[in-house]
């Protein structure tokens, strides 16, 4: 143990004589503190407390040397704990402890720290609640700052904690007694000082545990803000005392010169300035003292791990017993007329209920801290621990937001550990939103609790989803659907993202359900699909607002300017869009194949048809109903604009090493979107994507990257490729005229109303001015559209190689397309080869491999016309590229050699120039 400085008053009485020149003389203050008249001592202590900022100056060493002996003498010898909070004796002790708790913990205080811990520990064991709380604050701050303090005081403190937990049943009986609830402030002075009620402090820990004595590293964090990280010493803070009966604030967090705890009012229970006067209780019977203990125990066990082995078993036992204690009902304590009115007794009762709940919540947090390192010791309590947690959530007062929040955080830690099984039988209780979050909260309380509550439910659902009944899954779908469509916007985007993930994770369980009524599972899948579709539509409308808000946050805005209240980022919305589109792939697959799955389960024979006669009843064995097709139709309409949003960058958005770029995410999401419809049969494929093919093509015109969708649909499997090739070819043939490139000319067609207007000349001039100033957007758009159509034709023709059966979908249009392309191409005088010529090349090369006999027969009547027309181009053209293109088309006409023999005379005139050319392709064709 480190040597302690001599605190005797005689040795330090002349300490001021050796003070440096210009320093304050602390001897008069010391003498006033040691004055026989306690009123004089109290005035001196109060002045020191109110001017504690002097401890932050160079006077600090002299202050400690001169006044520490006086503090020790007053707290241990000259005064005793007094129950009367208005007594000078109590005020003197309280003022000294308050001042010491505000002293800065620096190197100047280090030599005095061991003795201050000893004094605080003595006060903690003997005094009442108000002074005990200040003693706990002193102990915590000193051990947190000086980690090399002697360990002599660790075991006595742990003994006090164990004895306090063992006295908790008596503390409940004592605090909820009628004389305590009916206590009035005016009776304080009439109450006689009682004898000490504390139980003997003896070592109760037994070395039965086999747990390691190593430091508890990588333990589960306790505070909500540190859910994802390990608990560190920097994270350990004593929360500020508030109306919900939290723990006291560390001295380090109290600014110098701040008001005392007394002046703040209600900071310490039992103080005369407190709005609620109460009968003071001894430290070992105080709920508030017990609330502070687990955090300090956690700190000490981390600093001195050797005490783990001898104390952890006893701590676990008494803490589990403490979690089982419940507050008595108000009706069992007070008469009915008092319990039904808003009386001081009723308010006192609810205050103590909140205090007990806060102490039990801190106890639960400490047990979750032990989960990783002491699973073997806690395993026998697995079921009881879960039951206690659920009971605490049920009984937690609705106004105790911080306590409920701490219970939810602890529940999440338990659900993420091996102790989750104990919660399985409480699934119905935890999925009750009103019970989990409480009711009648202020809006601010709701906003802080709802995200954490929904995260807790999500953790539970993800762990127990395989054992949930259809009724329970229906409750989950309803709950998280409301989260996604929260009109009050109290759920942040991460919580809504969690709701999407939870709904999507239910899909597989619903798909494999074995309920006798298959319609229940199908209805749940439809509800999930509808919810996600509606959310996608809402995100499209919400995106511009988020983008504007993000741009404003990126600018320098004057403090007087009112900025938008939107706090979601573009990146969050993009993540949500990706999650919905990627997840809907599985939902649509489950819905489309639900009949096949139910057939495998062989429950059709035992099916009991549900009552009713509407369209959707008994539709579990259909592929897709009209309602489901309508939802998919809305999904397509919402997805295409949403996919476009994935390309937009946000302010300050950059790529982190190892992450995908926006373009990578965009490509992946487009692939998943296409795969969503690849799971449909041909009939439903036409009813969904076939009806909105025009929207898909328009999206490709705006963004060529969307070409991934038709490319995937044409290559994914034979059935989907055949259906999509058929629809796409029909769509493109109907718009064959749009392949033509726009012609530039000097003719401008004015509106018919221009000549009839009174100021027709002005209207004409205005239109001409617009034409001269604005670029030809329509011309550019027309070029993009014609290029898109040509690429789609190419993709459809290339699908013939892997899936030859697609040839039948093109053959019916082959003669018309070839004749129209040849006619339109020969009529073009400005640009050749044009898109029609390129399309002819694609067609000839795709079906000239000798596999498609029926297509050869289809084109046989056109061979003379095609050859003669192309030969005229070869003979009359001066452009080399034009001649080579015409030669290539002549030499790749899809036909058998026997069909070309009658035209050999003409072909020879084409073959010879082809062989003479320096083009390798033409030489090979010749």
Residue 274's CB is within 10 A of a number of other CB atoms, namely: 18
Q: Tell which of 586, 617, 648 closes a domain.
A: 648
- The pLDDT of residue 728: 96
3-state helix, strand, coil in the chain (%, to 5): 65, 0, 35
pLDDT score, position 562: 35
Residue-level pLDDT at 673: 97
- What residue spans of 742-776 are helical by DSSP H? 760-773
What is the rounded average pLDDT of the residues 65-70? 90
State the pLDDT confidence band at 251, using cuts at 50, 70 and 90.
very low
Lowest mean pLDDT among 125-134, 309-318, 339-348, 631-640: 339-348
Asked if the model's pLDDT at residue 854 lies above 80, the reply is yes
Residue 113 · residue 146 · CB < 8 Å = yes
Q: Is the pLDDT of residue 257 over 70?
A: no
Rounded Cα–Cα distance for residues 467 and 435 (Å): 22
Give the pLDDT band (50/70/90) at residue 307: very high
Which residue's structure tokens are 């210009």? Answer: 22
Lowest-confidence pick of 77-86, 195-204, 440-449, 574-583: 195-204
Cα(123)–Cα(88) distance, integer angstroms: 17
pLDDT at residue 598 in the model: 63
pLDDT of 14-56, one tens digit each?
A: 333 344 444 577 888 889 999 889 999 999 999 989 988 888 8
Q: Check: CB of residue 713 under 8 Å from CB of residue 674.
A: yes
Residues 6+ apart with CB under 8 A from 136: 120, 124, 248, 289, 292, 293, 296
pLDDT digits (tens, 9 = 90+) for 648-681: 775 545 554 446 788 888 999 999 999 999 989 9
Q: How far, in Å, CA of 885 to CA of 280, rounded?
A: 103
Can you give the pLDDT at residue 900?
Answer: 78
Query: Mean of the pLDDT values across residues 375-391?
Result: 93
Coil, helix or strand for 567? coil
Give the pLDDT score at 543.
Answer: 80
Tell me whether residue 490 is in a domain: yes
Over 425-467, what HEC string results? HHHHHHCCHHHHHCCCCCHHHHHHHHHHHHHHHHHHHHHHHHH
Res 768: pLDDT = 65
Classify burial at 232, counting beta carbons within 10 Å of its beta carbon; exposed 0-12, middle 13-18, buried 19 or more.
exposed
- Taking the CA atoms of the chain, what radius of gyration do you get in angstroms? 41
Over the chain, what is the mean pLDDT? 79
Q: In terms of pLDDT, which residue wins out, 314 or 622?
A: 314
- The count of structural domains within the chain is 2
Q: pLDDT over 70 for what percent of the chain?
A: 74
pLDDT in tens, 481-493: 999 987 655 688 8
- Where does residue 868 rank: exposed (0-12), middle (13-18), buried (19+ CB within 10 A)? exposed
Residue 716 above 90 pLDDT?
yes
Q: Are 172 and 328 in contact (CB under 8 A)?
A: yes
Q: What token pair was written down for 809? A: 């979908």
Residue 498 belongs to a domain: yes
Torsion of CA 877, 882, 883, 884, to 10 degrees: 170
DSSP assignment of 198-213, as one string?
Answer: PPP------TT-----
pLDDT at position 340 is 65
Judge whether 297 and 363 are in contact, CB under 8 Å. no
10 Å CB burial of residue 882 (0-12, 13-18, 19+) is middle
Mean pLDDT, rounded, for 295-312: 94
Spatial distance between the Cα atoms of 116 and 134, rounded to a whole number of angstroms: 12
Both tokens of 219, joined, read 């333990």
pLDDT at 236: 34
Establish if 444 belongs to a structural domain: no
In whole angstroms, what is the distance from residue 833 CA to residue 839 CA? 10
The helix/strand count (H/E) of the chain reads as: 42, 0
User: Residues 135-165: pLDDT tens digits?
Assistant: 999 999 999 999 888 899 999 999 999 999 9
Tokens coding 84? 């009367």
Reported as a single tens digit per residue, the pLDDT across 200-241 is 333 333 333 333 333 323 333 333 333 333 333 333 333 333
Which residues does residue 128 pair with via DSSP β-bridges, in sequence order?
A: 282
Read off the pLDDT band of 548 (50, 70, 90). Answer: confident
Residue 391: is its pLDDT beyond 90? yes
DSSP codes of every residue in 663-714: HHHHHHHHHHHHHHHHTS-HHHHHHHTTTTHHHHHHHHHH-GGGGHHHHHHH
Task: For 168-289, list the strands marked E by DSSP.
Answer: none
In contact, 51 and 59? CB cutoff 8 Å: no
Looking at the predicted structure, is the pLDDT value of residue 9 above 60? no
User: Which whole number is the average pLDDT over 675-689?
Assistant: 93
pTM, two decimal places: 0.77
- Cα separation of 832 and 877, whole Å? 10
State how far the Cα of 844 lies from the Cα of 797, in Å rounded to an integer: 10
Residue range of the domain that includes 180: 1-207+232-293
- The length of the chain is 926
Q: How many CB atoms neighbour CB 796 within 10 A?
A: 25
Section 757-773 average pLDDT: 64
From CA 586, how far away is CA 679, in angstroms rounded?
Answer: 9
Confidence label for 767 from pLDDT (cuts 50, 70 and 90): low
For residues 871 and 910, is the Cβ–Cβ distance under 8 A?
yes
CA 425 to each of CA 118, 218, 430, 434: distance values in angstroms, whole numbers, following the listed order: 48, 29, 10, 19
**CA dist., res. 551 & res. 368, Å (int):** 43
| Rounded Cα gap, residues 689 and 53, in angstroms | 74
SS3 583: helix
10 Å Cβ neighbour count for 899?
A: 15
Cβ-proximal residues to 722 (8 Å cutoff; 6+ apart), any chain = 682, 803, 805, 806, 809
C-alpha span between 735 and 817 (Å, rounded): 11
Which of 119, 36, 114, 2 lies closest to 72, judged by CA?
119
Q: How many CA atoms lie within 13 A of 720 on its CB side?
A: 18
| Cα–Cα distance for residue pair 477/460, rounded to 1 Å | 14
Q: How far is CA 129 from the centre of its chain?
A: 40
Last residue within a domain, chosen from 600, 617, 648: 648
* 71 vs 119: CA distance, rounded Å: 9
Structure-block tokens of residue 373: 């390192």
DSSP string, 284-340: GG-HHHHHHHHHHHHHHHHH-GGGHHHHHHHHHHHHHHHHT--PPPGGGTS-HHHHT
Segment 514-535 mean pLDDT: 93
Residues above pLDDT 90, as percent of the chain: 45
296, 364, 309, 345: which is closest to 143 by C-alpha? Answer: 296
CA distance 250 to 236: 10
Segment holding 502, helix H or strand E: helix 493-511
Q: CA-CA distance, 118 to 476, in Å (whole number)?
A: 54
Residue 912: pLDDT band with limits 50, 70, 90: confident
Alpha helices in 127-214 (DSSP H): 129-145, 154-166, 168-175, 178-181
Q: Report the range out of 176-190, 486-500, 505-519 with the highest average pLDDT.
A: 505-519
Q: List 282's β-bridge partners, or say none.
A: 128
Structural domain includes residue 70: yes
Residue 76 lies in a domain: yes
| Contacting residues for 103 by C-beta, under 8 A, at least 6 apart | 52, 55, 60, 64, 109, 251
CA distances from 820 to 408, 737, 817, 884 (A): 71, 9, 5, 21
Helix (H, G, I), strand (E, B) or coil at 282: strand
pLDDT at 556 over 50: no
Q: Residue range 296-301: average pLDDT?
A: 95
Helix axes 88-101, 129-145, angle to 10 degrees: 20
Q: Is the peptide bond before 833 cis (omega within 30 degrees of 0)?
A: yes
Closest CA to 456 of 515, 498, 484, 401: 498
pLDDT at position 884? 80
- Tell whether the model's pLDDT for residue 275 goes beyond 90: no
pLDDT(557) > 90: no
Nearest CA-CA partner of 104 in 61, 67, 133: 61
Spatial distance between the Cα atoms of 249 and 101, rounded to a whole number of angstroms:
10
At residue 504, the pLDDT reads: 96
**What pLDDT is recorded for position 98?**
94
CA angle 523, 454, 537 (to 5 degrees): 55
For residue range 890-905, list pLDDT tens digits in order: 888 888 878 778 778 7
Does residue 741 sit within a domain? Answer: no
Domain presence at residue 46: yes
Residue 361, domain member (yes or no):
no
């Amino acid at each position: 143990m480190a040597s302690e400085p001599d605190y005797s008053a005689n040795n330090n009485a002349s300490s001021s004589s050796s003070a440096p020149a210009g320093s304050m003389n602390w001897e008069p203050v010391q003498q006033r503190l040691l004055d026989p008249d306690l009123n004089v001592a109290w005035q001196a202590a109060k002045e020191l407390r109110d001017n504690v900022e002097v401890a932050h100056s160079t006077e600090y060493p002299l202050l400690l040397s001169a006044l520490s002996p006086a503090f020790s003498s007053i707290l241990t010898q000259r005064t005793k704990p007094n129950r009367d909070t208005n007594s000078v004796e109590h005020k003197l002790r309280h003022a000294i402890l308050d001042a010491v708790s505000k002293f800065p913990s620096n190197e100047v205080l280090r030599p005095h720290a061991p003795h201050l811990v000893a004094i605080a520990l003595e006060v903690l064991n003997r005094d009442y609640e108000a002074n005990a709380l200040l003693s706990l604050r002193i102990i915590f701050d000193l051990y947190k700052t000086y980690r090399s303090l002697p360990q002599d005081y660790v075991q006595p403190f742990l003994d006090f904690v164990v004895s306090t937990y063992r006295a908790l049943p008596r503390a409940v009986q004592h605090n909820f007694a009628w004389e305590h609830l009916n206590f009035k402030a005016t009776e304080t002075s009439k109450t006689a000082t009682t004898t000490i009620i504390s139980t003997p402090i003896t070592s109760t820990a037994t070395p039965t545990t086999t747990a390691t004595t190593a430091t508890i590293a990588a333990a589960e964090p306790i505070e909500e803000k540190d859910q994802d990280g390990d608990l560190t010493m920097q994270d350990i803070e004593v929360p500020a005392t508030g109306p919900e009966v939290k723990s006291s604030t560390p001295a380090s967090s109290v600014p110098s010169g701040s008001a005392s705890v007394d002046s703040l009012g209600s900071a310490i229970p039992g103080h005369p300035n407190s709005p609620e006067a109460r009968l003071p209780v001894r430290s070992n019977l105080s709920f508030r003292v017990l609330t502070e203990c687990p955090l300090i125990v956690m700190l000490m066990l981390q600093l001195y791990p050797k005490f783990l082995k001898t104390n952890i078993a006893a701590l676990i036992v008494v803490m589990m017993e403490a979690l089982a204690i419940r507050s008595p009902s108000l009706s069992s304590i007070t008469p009915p007329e008092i319990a039904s009115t808003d009386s001081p007794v009723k308010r006192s009762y609810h205050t103590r209920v909140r205090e007990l709940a806060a102490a039990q919540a801190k106890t639960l947090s400490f047990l979750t801290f032990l989960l990783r390192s002491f699973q073997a010791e806690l395993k026998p309590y697995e079921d009881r621990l879960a039951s206690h947690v659920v009971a605490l959530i049920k009984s937690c007062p609705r106004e105790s937001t911080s306590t409920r929040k701490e219970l939810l955080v602890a529940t999440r830690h338990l659900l993420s550990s091996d102790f989750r099984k104990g919660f399985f039988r409480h699934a119905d209780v935890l999925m009750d939103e009103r019970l989990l979050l409480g009711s009648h909260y202020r809006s601010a309380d709701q906003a802080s609790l709802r995200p954490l509550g929904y995260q807790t439910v999500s953790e539970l659902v993800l762990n127990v989803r395989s054992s949930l009944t259809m009724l329970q899954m229906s409750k989950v779908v309803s709950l998280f659907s409301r989260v996604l469509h929260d009109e009050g916007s109290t759920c942040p985007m991460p919580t809504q993202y969690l709701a999407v993930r939870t709904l999507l994770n239910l899909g597989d369980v619903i798909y494999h359900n074995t309920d006798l009524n298959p319609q229940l599972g199908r209805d749940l899948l439809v509800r999930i699909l509808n919810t996600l579709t509606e959310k996608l539509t809402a995100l499209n409308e919400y995106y511009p607002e988020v983008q504007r808000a993000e741009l404003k946050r990126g600018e320098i805005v004057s403090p007087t300017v009112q900025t938008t209240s939107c706090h979601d980022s573009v990146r969050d919305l993009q993540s949500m869009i990706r999650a919905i589109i990627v997840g809907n792939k599985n939902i649509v697959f489950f819905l489309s194949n639900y009949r096949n799955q139910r057939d495998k389960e062989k429950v059709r024979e035992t099916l009991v048809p549900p009552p009713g006669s509407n369209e959707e009843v008994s539709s579990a064995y259909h592929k897709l109903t009209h309602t489901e097709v309508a939802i998919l139709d809305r999904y397509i309409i919402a997805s295409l604009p949403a996919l476009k949003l994935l390309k937009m960058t946000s302010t300050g958005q950059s790529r982190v090493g190892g992450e995908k770029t926006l373009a990578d995410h965009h490509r992946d999401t487009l692939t998943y979107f296409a795969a969503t419809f690849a799971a449909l049969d041909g009939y439903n494929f036409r009813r969904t994507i076939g009806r909105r093919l025009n929207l898909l093509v328009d999206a490709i015109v705006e963004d060529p990257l969307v070409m991934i969708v038709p490319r995937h649909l044409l290559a994914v499997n034979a059935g989907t490729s055949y259906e999509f090739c058929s629809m796409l070819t029909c769509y493109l043939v109907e718009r064959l005229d749009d392949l033509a490139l726009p012609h530039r000319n000097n003719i401008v067609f004015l509106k018919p109303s221009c000549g009839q207007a009174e100021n027709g000349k002005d209207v004409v001039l205005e239109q001409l001015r617009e034409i001269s100033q604005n670029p030809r957007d329509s011309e550019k758009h027309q070029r993009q559209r014609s290029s898109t159509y040509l690429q789609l034709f190419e993709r459809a023709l290339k699908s013939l190689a892997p899936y030859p059966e697609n040839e039948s979908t093109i053959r019916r249009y082959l003669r018309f397309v070839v004749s129209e392309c040849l006619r339109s191409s020969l009529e073009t005088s400005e640009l050749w080869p044009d898109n029609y010529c390129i399309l002819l090349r694609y067609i000839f090369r795709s079906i000239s491999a000798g596999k498609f006999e029926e297509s050869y027969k289809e084109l046989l009547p056109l061979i003379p016309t095609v050859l003669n027309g192309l030969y005229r181009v070869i003979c009359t053209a001066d452009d080399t590229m034009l001649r080579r293109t015409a030669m290539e088309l002549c030499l790749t006409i899809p036909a058998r050699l026997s069909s070309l023999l009658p035209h050999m005379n003409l072909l020879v005139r084409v073959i010879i120039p082809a062989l003479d050319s320096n083009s390798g392709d033409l030489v090979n064709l010749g």
